[in-house]
Amino acid sequence: MTREALLPLAVLAALAVAPLAGFGGSYELTLLARAMILGMAAVSLSFLVGGAGLVSLGHAASLGVGAYAVAILDAHGVTEALIVLPVAVAAAAGFSLLTGAVAIRTSGVHFIMITLAFGQMAFFTTSSLAAYGGDDGYTLYGRTEVAGTRLLENRLAFHYICLGLLALTWGLCAMLLASRFGRVLRAARENAQRVEAVGLAPYPFRLVGYAIAGALGGLAGVLLANATEFVSPATLSWQRSGELLFMVILGGVGRLWGAILGALAFVLLETWLAEQMQHWKLVFGPLLVLAVLFLKGGLSGLVARRHG
């Protein structure tokens, strides 16, 4: 194994020991859970952007579909993870499959715009769900149960479940990109005509990849709804999609695990700045711009150059 291959494992290991190393308070755990959940969404987006070359500006929609599946089932008294999880993931995959079937026929700026448009469509749909809080959002009765237990109520358990699913998301995306399927996606990102000229149409591969990323986004949405015990249209605002894309770029587009770093850095910096000053966004924005300008290869590129 090369040293670079160990770096993502080091990041996951750091998250595993964090609760035991002084970050075990409920404040820290809440923050870390949020970072890991957004990290999952960012990793699945990085799979699309860096792997398949599909720059989606609507990825928060899959997050939102997953989160709203939790809310809607909760409102109908269904709170068992064994039901909620597959339903939420399937709904997010289905949403991505349907919207992707149209979006993937376009490319470049058109693809960005059409994913944004579908994202907005989902946003306005949730805003109009009066039975589930409409604009105001919906507060869950409680966290999703796991096989009848209240496992997710335990902050530490929730931390490791988030970490486990983050690791799973990363591992799955890495495996997919290395497979035959991923090879087609990677080749088509660089040169779609070359892929066609060896006898493969990129479209179905991209569509399946898009649906898989959507399913993983939905999984993150289930956790996000549980982390805050609250779901609102803000979960799938276009700003959220932009933030996810930003985490991917901040972390480094070519490396899946970079998205985890990007999400961590984004969430921690955002929280820290917000505590320091009232107009923190005035500082946050320019900082992000500087990071993109000067961090070639993103944070993961920086780390890989130091330790790879």
Partner 1 sequence: MAEPLLRLEDLRKHYGGLDVTDGVSLDVMPGEIHAVIGPNGAGKTTLIHEITGIVAPDSGRILFAGQDITRLSLPRRVRAGLARSFQITSIVAGFSARENVALAAQARSGSSFRFLRPASGEAVLNDTAMAALDLVGLADRAAVPAGTLSHGEKRALEIAIALATRPRLLLLDEPLAGAGPEETERLIALLKRLGADYTILLVEHDMQAVFALADRISVLVYGRVIATGTVPEIRGNAEVRAAYLGEDDA
Q: Does 51 bind partner 1 (CB under 8 A)?
A: no
Q: Does 216 bind partner 1 (CB under 8 A)?
A: no
Give, rounded to a whole angstrom, the gap between the first and last alpha carbons of the chain. 11
Residues in contact with partner 1, shown as a per-residue x/- string from 130 to 159 under the rule CB under 8 A: ------------------------------
Distance of CA 37 to the CA centre of its chain: 7
Q: Does 234 bind partner 1 (CB under 8 A)?
A: no
Q: Does 195 bind partner 1 (CB under 8 A)?
A: yes
Span of 67-75, 152-160, 200-208, 267-275 interacting with partner 1 by CB under 8 A: 200-208
CA distance 231 to 235: 7
What number of chain residues touch partner 1 (CB under 8 A)?
25
Looking up tokens 């149209």 gives 102
β strands within the chain, DSSP E: 138-139, 230-231
Span of 170-178, 240-248, 275-283, 285-293 interacting with partner 1 by CB under 8 A: 170-178
Q: Does 181 bind partner 1 (CB under 8 A)?
A: yes
Nearest one of 286, 161, 281, 273 to 224, comparing CA atoms: 161
Which residues sit opposite 80 in a β-bridge?
145
3-state secondary structure at position 80:
strand
Comparison of 180 and 306: residue with beta carbon closer to partner 1: 180
Binding residue for partner 1 (CB under 8 A) from 6, 17, 175, 282?
175
Comparison of 108 and 199: residue with beta carbon closer to partner 1: 199
Q: How far is the CB of 107 from partner 1 (least distance, A)?
A: 16
What secondary structure letter does DSSP report for 140?
-
CA dihedral 274, 227, 236, 215 (to 10 degrees): 140
Contact residues toward partner 1 (CB under 8 A) are: 175-176, 178-184, 186-187, 190-191, 193-201, 204-205, 208
